[in-house]
Structure 1
Amino acid sequence: MSNVREFRFKTNINCGRCVGAVTPLLDGREEIKSWKVDIASPDKVLTLQTEPQFIPGISAALADIGYYIEQM
């Protein structure tokens, strides 16, 4: 049974180049059903649809390439 939910995070993904940097990582993870980044918002909000147990791994993978996420 799937437990996919939507999660919102503050990030330091703040420009088109940054979005380009995270795209291969986020697109390549099967556990992420969808994602988007609002770089126009003050908090640079990353919205993910995934299951809760995958959040730590996604966070660690983003940290490995220099980006942080903080759940809102």
Structure 2
Amino acid sequence: MKTENNSLQFKTNINCGGCIAKVTPFLNDAKGIFQWEVDTENKDKILTIKTDGITKEEIIEKVQEAGFKIESLN
């Protein structure tokens, strides 16, 4: 059985380990996220999410629920 993993990228203001810790439960509890990471070294703090069924809108909602700014890059 092959699962298709799509990768979505977002510009965020998640800029440190504490921020990542704060957003982790929101992203880990979201159904349809296969894997995610934030590049805090990048000036745009790029959040990359490998999806397995979650929509861009749902990801944006989750990150905003955690209290962060987010905008889609793709």
TM-score (ref. length: structure 1): 0.84
Deviations 1:7-56 (A, max 9, x none): 11110001110000011111112200110001111110100011576211
Match status 1:61 vs 2:68? no
Question: Structure 1 runs of 4+ off > 2 angstroms?
Answer: 1-4
1:3 CA displacement: 5.0
SS at match of 2:8: strand
SS at match of 1:33: strand
Letter in 2 for 1:71: S
Unaligned runs of 5+ in 2: none
45-54 or 7-16: bigger deviation? 45-54
- Determine what percentage of the aligned residue pairs are the same residue: 36
1:65 CA displacement: 2.2
Asked if the contact 2:11/2:44 (under 8 Å) is kept, the reply is yes
Cα distance in 1, alignment partners of residues 54 and 21 from structure 2:
25
What aligned pairs does 1:36-51 form with structure 2 within 5 A after superposition?
A: 36-50=37-51
Asked if the contact 2:34/2:52 (under 8 Å) is kept, the reply is no
Cα distance in 1, alignment partners of residues 7 and 57 from structure 2:
15
Unaligned runs of 5+ in 1: none
